[in-house]
Each structure stands twice: as C-alpha cells, then as structure tokens.
Chain A
Amino acid sequence: MDRQQEFVLRTVEERDIRFIRLWFTDVLGVLKSVAVAPAELEQAFVEGIGFDGSAIEGLTRVYEADMIAKPDPTTFQVLPWRGERHGTGRMFCDLLTPEGEPSRADSRNVLKRTLAKAGDKGFTFYTHPEVEFYLFNQMGSSDGPLVPVDEGGYFDHLARGSTHDFRRAAISMLESMGISVEFSHHEAGPGQNEIDLRYADALTTADNLMTFRTVVKEVALEQGVFASFMPKPFADKPGSGMHTHMSLFEEDSNAFHEPGAQFELSKTGRQFIAGLLVHAGEITAVTNQHVNSYKRLWGGSEAPSYICWGHNNRSALVRVPMYKPGKGNSSRIEYRALDSAANPYLAFAVLLAAGMKGIEEGYELPEATEDDVWELTGAERRALGIAPLPESLDEAIELMESSELVAETLGEHVFDYVLKNKRNEWDAYRAQVTPYELKTSLQFL
C-alpha cells in the first residue's frame, strides 16, 4: 500500500464516502464505470477489480474475457454532483490482463505507449482542446423536435441566459475536480457553447475530457436541460468540433518555437505539421469516428474539409495561431478536424504519431495556404495540390485500412476492432431511409 493509496483510503473514511466509481474508457471513447464499496477499495488497490471484458466494446476477444481494472490513486476525486454527505469518489483505471500486463485493448494504454515513444526521442506532448457542444431543452420523446436552449450567437451575452448559468455551474464543478478551464463563451449556433480546457500533457487532457463530458451532462441534467457532443445536430447550424492546440516540449523548451523563423515556427514544428497533413486522411476515422462527424466536416462554414495549413487561415485543417511576442513557450499549432465525440486517447495518439512521423522522416512542409479554400474551385485546389479529407466514414475507413501508421499506433487489436466497429456503423447507416429522402422523393416518385 503506497502513500497515495493510503491517502485515498483516509479521504474515503474521513469524508464518509459510500461509493467509489472506477472509470475506464472503451475503445469507442465511452466512459465505463464500476462502483465499489469502501470496504473493497483496499483489495482493489492491491489486486485490481476483475470484470468480464467481453461485454464491453472492443475490450477483449471473447475467449479471454477476464480483465482487471486497477485504480490509479492519483486520479482520485470526489464527484461534486453526488452531494457532500455520503459522497461518491472516482478514480481512472488502467486495464490489465490477468497476468498483470497492460491490456492491448486499453485505449489509455495506447496513448501512454505513443507518449512513451515520443518520450524516447525527448519530446513531451501537450494538448489544449476547445470543446464545443449544444444545450437543448429536455425533449418529451426521442423523435420530438430538437429545441436549443437559446437563440444566441457567437460571444453573445444573453440577459438571464440559462447557458450563462450553465457555464458557470459547469466550470465551477470542473474546477472543483481539479480541471482548469481557460476560456468559455457562447458559440455561433443557438444553444451552442464552447469551453476550453487549459493545456496539459496529453494523458491528463484525455482523462480530463472524459471527466468533462460527464460533468457537462450532469450539470445539464441538474438544470433541466440536456447536453450533446454530437458533431452535427442541425444540418443548417454550425457543428461541434474540438479544435485542439498541440505543442511538443523538449525538456523545458517549446520545440515548435524558433525566434525569427516564419511564424516563429521551428523546423520541428514544420515537420510535425507536414506529418499531420500527409497522414490526415488515414487518421480521420479515429479523429472523426461517426457517420455524423462527416456532416460537420463537409458542412461548410469554416469546417476544415481540405488538407492544407495556414497562418490564421480559418479554413485550413492545420492553423498556426498568431504568435504572441515574448511567449516562446506558447508556440503551438491547431488541428481543426477533431470533433467532440472522438475517443480522446486514441485521437491524441494518432495525431502525435502522425506528427512524429513527419519529424522522423523529415517531411517537407508545402506552402501555407492563404486563400479561403472553400472559395477556390475544384480545379484551383487541384492545381495547388490541396486534397480533401475523406467525405464519409466509409471513405475514411478505407484509408485507415491501409495505414501502417494507424495500425502501429493503435496496436493490431484496437486497429482491427475499430475498423470492424466502424464498418458496422457505416453498414447500419447505409440501411436507413432518412427523412430527407422521404421529403424529397416520396411525393415525386
């Protein structure tokens, strides 16, 4: 029993915590939770909690279903929405095989492995996500009309705005769980909000995102509304993305920064971007994993549909934000395709791997794109060598299938599972007859 574990046991005792939730994430990025009583906690620290992994998406192969979840005591937090008295605590878990080896199916482990690989080269990876989501009034039934909680727009300050209260409550709850919020505001769509998490190493950010989604949903429920991270709930309103700022550090210095270079961007930074661009297509099935994701990617209005980069170009896939003089360590690049429904562990892993590939292979970065790529004609884009991202989940799967980079990063097991699962999702979607088809065809044909 180490001190951190003892601390958790003591806290549980002192604050009269009645349940401890052990959290982990399945391959699709859905949070899973198993509750244990305080009496079982000590055992959980020593041996972990065994469970049947075959019931959980992508966790194990059917014939070796036994898995062990081992709580990480440094992630212990009391869940604020469960009330002060008889509270509930939570910890993230590492998933192990019965032999005690890290499970190949644990997406947290996928990210850890990728980070360790970059670590061997002397790099630490930091991310800073801007999470967008919609708030809706509670629906009477699942097929009722979708009503956003307000009609506000970008940065609108709404008098007595419920989203205002909502953000305040959500942020204070996040802060009480040790998750720092950088920034929050009303987004362009009605009922759409954005909350930016402070930058931190990618593993912490990914853990935080899992907590974040839960907190946002809980607070929404408390306030009688509901929140959704679905990438594109309205065809004619902006989608919810998760623009993510990324930087690499070597020891204490920002490896993307080089004073005097174009955009103050170092060679390492340029190669990292080049890696992202070269591999953008094949990682899209991970960064944008749902059928619905592609409606956002191809929904216009600043969506990053084309593989290019630019400085402050709001239509580019990779953006190099304006450099603030004297802040060398804040140099970063922004990847704009990612959406809020991705599995953050896997998404960060493939983004890092793509960038690192660029560094390892010394990819050349093409010219920055100054134009609004949406304004260009197809022929112009071809002339400029600007390729599109996959247009559908189907196309993204096909690109991923032949990607050694993604296979190596996810590991063969997760790679295989994601492909199978996404293929099923696509097949199920393709079988649908949509309201759009009924509207446009039923009467006329």
Chain B
Amino acid sequence: MSPTTSGTGRPQTPTRRLLRAGFADLTRSATLWQDAELQRRLPADAGGDDGVLQALGVTADPDLALLHLVRLASVPAAQQTVERLLAADQRSGEGVARGRLMAVLGASTALADEIVRRPALLDVLGDGDGGLGADPRDVRAELLRAVGADPESADPVAALEPEGADAPGWPDRDAPTATDALRRAYRERLLRIAATDLTAPDPSATLPDVGAALADLAAGALEAALAVARSQIPDHGAGARLAVIGMGKTGGRELNYVSDVDVVYVCEPATDEAGEPVLDESAAMRIGTQLATRLQKVCGGTSLEPALWEVDAALRPEGKQGPLVRTLASHVAYYERWAQTWEFQALLKARPVAGDAALGAAYREAVDPFVWAAANRDHFVEDAQAMRRRVEAHVPNAEADRQIKLGKGGLRDVEFTVQLLQLVHGRTDDAIHDGNTLAGLSALAAGGYVGREHALRMGACYRFLRSLEHRVQLFGLKRTHLLPTEDEDLRRLARSLGMRGQGAEDLRQRWRATRREVRALHEAVFYRPLLPAWAQLSEDELSLAPDAARARFAAIGYRDPDGAMRHVVALTEGTSRRAKLQRQLLPVMLGWFAEGSDPDAGLLDFRKLSENLGATPWYLRLLRDSGNAAYHLAHLLSSSRYLAEALARSPESVQWLADTSRLEPRGPERLAAEADAVLTRADDPGPAATRLRALRRRELARTGAGEVLGVLGPVQAQAAISDAADMVVVGGLRVAEFAARDQMGLGPDPAANPTRMLVVAMGRLGGREMGYGSDADVLFVHDPLPDADPEQAKAFAELTARTLQKLLSAVGPEPPLPVDADLRPEGRQGPLVRTMASYTEYYERWASVWEQQALLRARPVAGATGTAVDLAERFDAVVDPLRYPPGGLAEPKLREVRRIKARVESERLPRGTDPSRHLKLGRGGVSDVEWTVQLLQLQHAHEVPGLRTTETVAALAAAEGAGLVEAEEAECLLDAWLLASRLRSALVLWSGKVGGLRADVLPADAWALTGLARLLGDVDTGQELEELYLRTARRARTVMERLVYGDD
C-alpha cells in the first residue's frame, strides 16, 4: 500500500487507511495486507473507498476477516474464486457474494476454517440462495438427496455406502459415508443461513427467520439421519413406524446455531392393508430403538466430518431411565399417571419434525389435552413456583455477570414467563397455544393477557438476547451461553449486532440494561394486568377480563381470587394521589405476597394497613421510593400473623423496613436510656409501666421483623428479646419502689428506701434466651439498711415486689410480661422476698440439687447492682459455690439429677402430646439439651471457667473446648437446640398466638408446617421440615441419653 492522497488532501498512510476502514490491530493487519499471495489476488483498486479494504472494514472484525482472507488466498483450490470475488463490483451479484464471504470471515473462525478446508463452499455464498425463508419441505428434500435417499418416499432410505470413492449413484465424492455426506450438506446450508444473518441490516428483525431456518435445517437433518439409520438395519426397519418429535427450541422452531436438539420418539408397529399390525409391539419397539439409536449416532457420533449436535432424548417419559422409544399409548399412560407439571410445560413445545408424519400428528393431538389441563393439576401453584425458582436459581458466581441464558433476566426467564402465561390462560383459549416464544408472546398480547406495549418490549429484549447468543455461538460454533470477557471479543459482538461505532463497554451496558428490563417486564407482564382497567397507568395498559384475572390470581397462589380482586379494587379506586401510588406499587407487591405462605392474608393486611396509614404522607412514598421497604412489608404481612398484627398496632414501624440497620437490636444501653427518659417524665406508676411495656412491644416487633427478614440469627433474637425484658424489669422496679414509697408515706426520694432491692433473673431471662412468649422468671432479694427497722424493710420489699409483678402482668393495652418467682426457696410456699442473709442461710443448709441447677441461670438484673454496696456481687458469692460446686457433683447428687430428669420427662409433658413433637419438653427438645449442658456445668464449672455462664450456647462451646463433649456431640446438641428454638419463635411469628397448649408442639397439619417451612427457609416443604426436626431431635436425644443417663 503506497501513500496516496484522499479527497481531503491529507496524505493517506497505510496505517491511517486501515484505521479509517475500521481495523483495530493496525501493525499486524498492515503486515497481513502485504502478504504476497493476497496481493497477487487483489485487484488494482483494492485499497480504495469502494474496494476490498472497505469491504473488510464493515465486517464485525476486520482484522480477523483479513487474517482468514490471507489464509484463503494461499489455498490453491480457492484462489481462482477468491480473485474473482475480490475484483467484483460492490453492487453486482458477485459483490454481494463478496460481502457475504467477508461477513462470515469476520465473525466466525469456525466457518472460516470450514471454507479453507472446503473451498467449494465459496460457490455456496454466491449462488443466490440465502437460506432464510426456504420451504421446510425443500430443506428436507435437499438433505435426503445428500444421503442418496428419495425425498418422495414416505420412508426414505439412504443409499448404501459405496465401495470406492466414485461409485455410481453416490451423491458426494468427498464423503466416505452417508453420515459424512449428511454433515457436509448440513454445513453448506448452515453457511448460507449464517452469511445472510451476518449481513442482515437489523439482526434482531431477522432473528425469528434465522431460528426457524435453523430448526427446519435440524428437522431435515433428523429426517436424513433417520434415512441413514434405516439403510443400516435389516429390511430398513419396515416393521415399525417411528415419529421424531422436536421439543424445546427445535419444537418451538426457534433453534440456536449450536445447541442440543431435544427430541422424543413415538413408535408403533407398521400395519398391513387390513390395518393389522405386521409385528408385535415388542418387536416393533426393538426396531424403533435401533433406528433412534442409530439416528443419534449419525448426528452426534464420531466420524470424519465433525458432529452436528447431540440429539438429546432426556425429556422423554421417565427421563434417562425410561425406554428410548414408546408407543403412543404408553406416552399417554405416562402423562396420565406419572408426569410432573414441568413435563407438561415442556410438552407445550412438542412438534413432529421427522419420521412418520401421521403418527407425529396423532401424538401432538393426544398430548395436547394434557398440556392445557396442567394448570388445573393439584399443586400447580407450588410446582410453578419451584420451576420459577429453578429458572432464577443463581448461576455460579464466576458466570453470574456473563450468563445470557440463565438467571434472573436471562432468556430462560422470558421463555418461562411466556409459557406459564400460556399454561394458565391456554386452558380456555386455543389461540395462544403456539410453541414459539415470540409467536406465543404476540398471541398473548392479541388475546388480552399481556399489555401490547409490554409484549413488544419483552419481545425486543428477547430478540436482542437471542441475537447476542447467536453471535457468541457463531464465532467458534460452540455451544455456549456466556458473554466473552475480552474487549476485542465484545467489540466484535457489538459490531456484528449493528452497534457499529460502539465498543465493548456499550455492549456490556446494553446487555445489563436488557436484563434489568426483562426483570421489570416480568412483574409488569404478570401482575400489572391484575389491576382493574381504571387503575391502569395509561391508555394502552391492559386489564385482564375477570375470568382471566381469577385464573391468574389462582395460578400464583391466592386461594380466594375474588377476595383478592376486591382488595385490589379497594386499594386502587378513586382519583386520589394515594390510589395513584397504589397503582404503581400494587402489581409488584401482588407477586411478593404470593411468595409468602398466606398471600390472601398478606393482601388483606396490606389493605388494612394502607387504609390506616393512607393519609400519612411518608407511607406510600416510602414504599414507592424504597424497593426494600415494599418487599419487606409484603414478605412480613404474608408470612407472619404476629408481625402483621404488630405492624397494624404501630404502623410507624413500617419505616424500619426501608433500612435493615433499623431492624438491628437497639442494645441494652440505648434501651436503658430510653426507659430512663420515659420514667423521668412520668409521675404516675400505672401509665409509666404501660409506657415501658409499649417500649417492649416495639422491640418485640423489631426483633421479629429482623428475624423473619434474616437480619438476626436465633441467638441474637433471643438476646434482643431478653434485653427488652431486662429494660422493663429495671424500669418496673424503679416504678414499683416509687409506688411503695408513696404508699408507705416515705416520700419521693429513693434515699428514703429502708432496704436495697435486687432482682435476679432466672430461667430463660437469666440465660438471655427468651422467646416472644416467655415469662420473666426472677428471685427477689433485699438487704435492709443497717439503721432501718427490719419489719418496715421487709414490708417495703414485699410491697415493691408485688407492685412490680402487678405492674408488669396486669391486663392492659400493652402486652404483659408475667413475672414469675416460683423458683424461689420453698417455691410458692416460701416468702416472695428474702433478705440476702436469709438466702445465704437457706442455700447453705437446704439447697437441693434442682435448686443448684436452677441457679446456673441466675443473673442479677435490677436493683442495687454496680453501686457501692453491690448486692449482685454478694449474691453471686453466695450462689457460686452451689452452682459451680468445688470438686464437681458427688455421686448421690448425680443420681438425683438423673432421677429428677426422668421424672420430669414423664410428668411435665402435657397429656396426649407426642413426645417426639414437643419442642420444649419432648425427646431431643430444648430441655434435653439444656439439662445436658447444665449437668456438665454442675460437674465441671469448678475447673472450667468458661462453663460459668448462664447461656446455653456459650456453656456448650466451653464444654466442647474443654473436651467434655465430642465435637460431633456438641454439634448434635447445638443443632437441635437452635432448630427447636427457631421453631418455637416461628410458631409465634407464623400464628400470631403467644402461649397456649400448642405453642410448643410441632404442628401436624400440612398448612401450618408449610407456613413454618417458608418462614425458616431451610427446607422447601412442610414434610421436609417435620423430617428435619424429628431427625435432629432424635440425634440430640441419643447424645443426651449418653451424657446425662450414662447410656452407651
């Protein structure tokens, strides 16, 4: 290339010319351009504006195209044609052929290799057959002729393979076998399609034709492969009729360049003139199996020419375990009895593509009713949700950013949405049965099931993603659905998609934007039409007819579609700003409610909440502006009665949902400060206590929401609930002392108290392991001031304790926290309050082993702690020798613990309760684990300081650390304790019921179990949850029996 002068008068260096033409790798391409063989083929004006350089420049990857052109120029058999094409005028027929060649060279290394290997293919690019829009019958005939079979025959048979290379009648001299002949003919046609596709002005517009042409080509190849298979077996398999049914993209006539071809085979014995079968069924099935096996080998087996694709028959009844071919009756029997919902979804795309046409048609007719009745099957909703989860299942992290097909917003997502809508509405409307995704989508729009605008946009996204996938596959003719990472690859893709002048980054952005739009459209397409007509956002929005809306509500899991429609109407009615905001919000929320265990209740509660808060300016704005808040709200309302009620009670809590950090526990200090502020303002005990209880209610709701939304783990949640209880007890004591002073006429000053009080938390409060419905177990201790009248001190202490109990347990608007002092010395017979001295004496003289055990949970919580005279310290000093006995537990005491445990098991369990299902007292339940841990504490806390804790989890960890339990045993115990604790919480959260007979029993009915399973999220179904709990508890029980009872 010598410097010339362009129109602008600036000298054109070779590099500049390459740059202007669109080349990127300038140095290398400049060298390639100078290749001697190429230069010999080039016409005089090759570097000109109209010339070869420009023709290369418009391809997807000019550098790549040039490289392949240089390779081609050195192949002797190609040189003549190449020279002719390069010299052609751009506007002539030859010029078009040149453009097609360049486009292929610049976009597909695999096809370029093929042309270099078979230069005769150059003629294919110029013979005027563009491959698209061909009659499927002609394609079939072409491929049959390629294997020497007669296209006119009903059961064409391929010619027998010749002995020598040019035996007469053998169609392809270069193919030693019929298999190779077929593959060569297939590639020829593939090249035509690719060349047309790559030179199309708008790839997205051409996409449906390309998919159809590829599917027809695959169908023709299957037909020809069947002809080859027939030629290989005795009698050409005349005894059997075999139909090949295309499934998946083949069936939908929307195939990729490279993908497995999904098929199903139907086989029947052939019949004679009288209509009698000529063979018995099993003989016919053997022949059918032989034909199918050989057909698959012709397409996908090893031979001289590369394989076409795998023929995949895994969608057949029973999958890979099932027989390869079946009779029609056997297919039908399977679909009647065994098939799963997803199999009917797959059948939606079934289309006869090769073999016996009449049998194929009979198959389609026979399976059709199953497909369109699938939405009526039991469990359709659950199945559809499970299928959706599989579609959305996150792809491996390494691929998440590159997957075109899978994951949210991928191709599968679009296909699934279309198919699900077809299944739901196709039952009553035959017009929407098309197995092709784009055709199905148009039909759904035409039938009034999807808004036209939405359908158009979804179609456009689909076309873009498919075109992208096609281009990625074309490059190496590899089955891949991953976007490449290298910039140069992305640049090529961008240019081949008509995004000329845009680079890698633009493509990445458009791809991401498309995925986002698919997601958004999914909501819009599925849920928006559920809103009534007047509530639509614009004129062209669609509203479903009542029957269709009912079907769709039912299909997504609403048990009372009419009720749901009423709520939707009520929420969106009117012209207020509120109604307008609801119209934007509601569609997506309808979908979210459907993910919970009770969508109907969720929607109803949302309506109530919205009616309550409608006038509040922040409410709807928050839901609209924070995606999190709306999602969280929908989730809580549809899966937890407890929280639905809590939110109805204090609607302002909805504000937390926008920002999960507000769901984290406030921590003891902030709670204490808040309680302090409340009490400092108060001057009347009753209302003050009510305010404290309200604070606790708020914290319970916060903790519940945090637990359901996964912000808090079970141990954190228990600690948060316990902190709130601590706060109420501390504040309550202050109020009670105030009231006692008032009643005894001692005046307002705390300094006038005749004694110092200490409240010691016991049980779950002591262990900081409270649930939503736990009582507060306590001991009351007091210590009279040295100069006080002992009687007055006692009276004051008792009055204070009783007042505290009354204030916190009294019936009132806020939830009570019953304060239970039954663990005190002598139980209910003993005095409610004792002095420190009395405790000391009692414990020294009378303490029984169960009291020692109970004291393991003792934690001073309120009163004179941290002061100059620290009662807490003194109390601990009294009880430590009891709960952490020096030298461990003597044999008689150990026996006593075991005996009590055995008695408790038989006596405390409520009558008629299955011991394996009682979460607290049952086998392997909370109590089994805690006894085990507490026994270890009694035995070893004197030597293992870590065991001196009131908390079960911490003690268990310490025991494991000290080698007192095996790691495996500790894990069994911890698993069981955590699961039982979570189930107890979940029972309250799900049912909204605190306490009651069933509060600690794993429910037996499926509805409740499913609700709990959704709330916990470990397993999918209620049955699995039940199985999980029973198993976990059984294992813990075994460990408990070993460690507590000493069983082997």
Residue interface bits A405-418, CB-to-B below 8 A is 1, else 0: 00110011100100
Contact A61 B914 (CB under 8 A): yes
Return B1022 CB to nearest CB of chain A, in Å: 8
**Partner-contacting stretch, out of A97-105, A179-187, A212-220:** A97-105
Q: Is A119 an interface position by the 8 A CB rule?
A: yes
Residue interface bits A110-137, CB-to-B below 8 A is 1, else 0: 0000000001001010000000000000
Tell me the residues in window 971-1010 of chain B with beta carbons closer than 8 Å to chain A beta carbons: 1004-1007
Contact B378 A100 (CB under 8 A): yes
Contact B1034 A4 (CB under 8 A): no
Contact B336 A2 (CB under 8 A): yes
Closest A residue, CB atoms, query B318: A119
Contact A412 B336 (CB under 8 A): no
Tell me the residues in window 368-412 of chain A with beta carbons closer than 8 Å to chain B beta carbons: 402, 407-408, 411-412
Return A59 CB to nearest CB of chain B, in Å: 14
Please report the C-alpha to C-alpha distance between residue A63 and residue B1002 in the assembled complex, in whole angstroms. 13
What range describes how many residues of B lie at the interface?
20 to 34
Q: Please indicate the chain B residues that have their CB under 8 angstroms from the CB of A100 in the complex.
A: 378-379
Q: Please indicate the chain A residues that have their CB under 8 angstroms from the CB of B1026 in the complex.
A: 104, 412
Q: Is B20 an interface position by the 8 A CB rule?
A: no
Q: Please indicate the chain B residues that have their CB under 8 angstroms from the CB of A64 in the complex.
A: 1004-1005
Q: A411-B1027, A412-B1030, A412-B1031 are in contact. Are A4 and B337 (CB under 8 A)?
A: yes
Closest B residue, CB atoms, query A249: B321
Return A57 CB to nearest CB of chain B, in Å: 16
Contact A97 B1031 (CB under 8 A): no
Q: Please indicate the chain B residues that have their CB under 8 angstroms from the CB of A74 in the complex.
A: 337
Q: Is A437 an interface position by the 8 A CB rule?
A: no
Contact A97 B1006 (CB under 8 A): yes
Contact A407 B1034 (CB under 8 A): yes
Q: Is B15 an interface position by the 8 A CB rule?
A: no
Q: Please indicate the chain A residues that have their CB under 8 angstroms from the CB of B1023 in the complex.
A: 101, 104
Tell me the residues in window 28-76 of chain A with beta carbons closer than 8 Å to chain B beta carbons: 61-64, 74
Contact B1007 A99 (CB under 8 A): yes
Residue interface bits B259-298, CB-to-A below 8 A is 1, else 0: 0000000000000000000000000000000000000000
Please report the C-alpha to C-alpha distance between residue A99 and residue B1034 in the assembled complex, in whole angstroms. 26
Return B1027 CB to nearest CB of chain A, in Å: 6
Contact A3 B333 (CB under 8 A): yes
Q: Please indicate the chain A residues that have their CB under 8 angstroms from the CB of B1004 in the complex.
A: 61, 63-64
Q: Which of B336, B378, B912 has the most CB of A within 10 A?
A: B336
Q: A2-B336, A4-B333 are in contact. Are A412 and B1005 (CB under 8 A)?
A: no
Q: Please indicate the chain A residues that have their CB under 8 angstroms from the CB of B1027 in the complex.
A: 104, 411-412
Q: Which of B378, B912, B914, B1023 has the most CB of A within 10 A?
A: B1023
Q: Is B332 an interface position by the 8 A CB rule?
A: yes
Closest A residue, CB atoms, query B1032: A412
Q: Please indicate the chain B residues that have their CB under 8 angstroms from the CB of A62 in the complex.
A: 912
Q: Is A361 an interface position by the 8 A CB rule?
A: no
Return A203 CB to nearest CB of chain B, in Å: 13
Q: Is A251 an interface position by the 8 A CB rule?
A: yes
Q: A3-B332, A3-B333 are in contact. Are A413 and B1030 (CB under 8 A)?
A: yes
Please report the C-alpha to C-alpha distance between residue A4 and residue B1004 in the assembled complex, in whole angstroms. 34
Please report the C-alpha to C-alpha distance between residue A203 and residue B409 in the assembled complex, in whole angstroms. 43
Contact B320 A412 (CB under 8 A): no
Q: A3-B336, A251-B320 are in contact. Are A416 and B1006 (CB under 8 A)?
A: no
Return B911 CB to nearest CB of chain A, in Å: 12
Please report the C-alpha to C-alpha distance between residue A100 and residue B1005 in the assembled complex, in whole angstroms. 12
Q: Is B916 an interface position by the 8 A CB rule?
A: yes
Q: Please indicate the chain B residues that have their CB under 8 angstroms from the CB of A411 in the complex.
A: 1027
Contact A122 B379 (CB under 8 A): no
Q: Please indicate the chain A residues that have their CB under 8 angstroms from the CB of B914 in the complex.
A: 61, 63
Q: Please indicate the chain B residues that have their CB under 8 angstroms from the CB of A3 in the complex.
A: 332-333, 336
Please report the C-alpha to C-alpha distance between residue A100 and residue B1007 in the assembled complex, in whole angstroms. 12
Please report the C-alpha to C-alpha distance between residue A2 and residue B369 in the assembled complex, in whole angstroms. 12
Q: Is B536 an interface position by the 8 A CB rule?
A: no
Residue interface bits B1032-1046, CB-to-A below 8 A is 1, else 0: 001000100000000
Closest B residue, CB atoms, query A60: B1004
Please report the C-alpha to C-alpha distance between residue A119 and residue B1023 in the assembled complex, in whole angstroms. 21
Q: Please indicate the chain A residues that have their CB under 8 angstroms from the CB of B1034 in the complex.
A: 407, 412, 416
Number of A-B residue pairs, CB cutoff 8 Å, is: 50
Q: Which of A119, A402, A413 contacts B321 (CB 8 A)?
A: A119
Contact A416 B916 (CB under 8 A): yes
Contact A407 B1031 (CB under 8 A): yes
Please report the C-alpha to C-alpha distance between residue A61 and residue B916 in the assembled complex, in whole angstroms. 11
Please report the C-alpha to C-alpha distance between residue A2 and residue B1031 in the assembled complex, in whole angstroms. 39
Residue interface bits A166-200, CB-to-B below 8 A is 1, else 0: 00000000000000000000000000000000000
Please report the C-alpha to C-alpha distance between residue A416 and residue B1038 in the assembled complex, in whole angstroms. 13
Please report the C-alpha to C-alpha distance between residue A251 and residue B896 in the assembled complex, in whole angstroms. 61
Residue interface bits B916-946, CB-to-A below 8 A is 1, else 0: 1000000000000000000000000000000
Please report the C-alpha to C-alpha distance between residue A344 and residue B379 in the assembled complex, in whole angstroms. 30
Q: Please indicate the chain B residues that have their CB under 8 angstroms from the CB of A407 in the complex.
A: 1031, 1034
Contact B916 A2 (CB under 8 A): no
Q: Please indicate the chain A residues that have their CB under 8 angstroms from the CB of B333 in the complex.
A: 3-4
Q: Which of A122, A412, A413 has the most CB of B within 10 A?
A: A412
Q: Please indicate the chain A residues that have their CB under 8 angstroms from the CB of B379 in the complex.
A: 100
Return B914 CB to nearest CB of chain A, in Å: 6
Q: A63-B912, A407-B1031, A411-B1027 are in contact. Are A99 and B1006 (CB under 8 A)?
A: yes
Please report the C-alpha to C-alpha distance between residue A61 and residue B913 in the assembled complex, in whole angstroms. 10
Please report the C-alpha to C-alpha distance between residue A122 and residue B320 in the assembled complex, in whole angstroms. 8
Please report the C-alpha to C-alpha distance between residue A124 and residue B319 in the assembled complex, in whole angstroms. 13
Return A77 CB to nearest CB of chain B, in Å: 17
Q: Please indicate the chain B residues that have their CB under 8 angstroms from the CB of A4 in the complex.
A: 333, 336-337
Please report the C-alpha to C-alpha distance between residue A49 and residue B266 in the assembled complex, in whole angstroms. 36
Q: Please indicate the chain B residues that have their CB under 8 angstroms from the CB of A413 in the complex.
A: 1030
Q: Please indicate the chain B residues that have their CB under 8 angstroms from the CB of A402 in the complex.
A: 1038
Q: Please indicate the chain A residues that have their CB under 8 angstroms from the CB of B1005 in the complex.
A: 64, 99
Tell me the residues in window 317-372 of chain B with beta carbons closer than 8 Å to chain A beta carbons: 320-321, 332-333, 336-337
Residue interface bits B1004-1019, CB-to-A below 8 A is 1, else 0: 1111000000000000
Q: Please indicate the chain B residues that have their CB under 8 angstroms from the CB of A2 in the complex.
A: 336-337
Return B297 CB to nearest CB of chain A, in Å: 16
Q: Please indicate the chain B residues that have their CB under 8 angstroms from the CB of A251 in the complex.
A: 320-321
Please report the C-alpha to C-alpha distance between residue A368 and residue B206 in the assembled complex, in whole angstroms. 68
Q: Please indicate the chain A residues that have their CB under 8 angstroms from the CB of B337 in the complex.
A: 2, 4, 74
Return B803 CB to nearest CB of chain A, in Å: 43
Q: Which of A61, A63, A101, A119 contacts B1006 (CB 8 A)?
A: A101
Return B611 CB to nearest CB of chain A, in Å: 34
Return B28 CB to nearest CB of chain A, in Å: 51
Tell me the residues in window 237-266 of chain A with beta carbons closer than 8 Å to chain B beta carbons: 251
Return B377 CB to nearest CB of chain A, in Å: 11
Q: Please indicate the chain B residues that have their CB under 8 angstroms from the CB of A124 in the complex.
A: 321
Please report the C-alpha to C-alpha distance between residue A74 and residue B1030 in the assembled complex, in whole angstroms. 35
Contact A122 B1038 (CB under 8 A): no
Please report the C-alpha to C-alpha distance between residue A124 and residue B320 in the assembled complex, in whole angstroms. 11
Closest A residue, CB atoms, query B1010: A99
Please report the C-alpha to C-alpha distance between residue A240 and residue B221 in the assembled complex, in whole angstroms. 60
Return B1040 CB to nearest CB of chain A, in Å: 14
Please report the C-alpha to C-alpha distance between residue A2 and residue B370 in the assembled complex, in whole angstroms. 11
Return B454 CB to nearest CB of chain A, in Å: 35
Please report the C-alpha to C-alpha distance between residue A99 and residue B1023 in the assembled complex, in whole angstroms. 11
Known: A2-B336, A61-B1004. 15 other contacts (CB 8 A): A3-B332, A3-B333, A4-B336, A61-B914, A97-B1006, A99-B1006, A100-B378, A104-B1026, A104-B1027, A119-B321, A407-B1034, A411-B1027, A412-B1030, A412-B1031, A412-B1034
4 nearest interchain CB pairs?
A412-B1030, A2-B336, A99-B1006, A64-B1004
22 A-B residue pairs with CB within 8 Å: A2-B337, A3-B333, A4-B336, A4-B337, A62-B912, A97-B1006, A98-B1006, A99-B1005, A100-B378, A100-B379, A101-B1023, A104-B1023, A104-B1026, A122-B320, A122-B321, A124-B321, A251-B320, A251-B321, A411-B1027, A412-B916, A412-B1026, A413-B1030
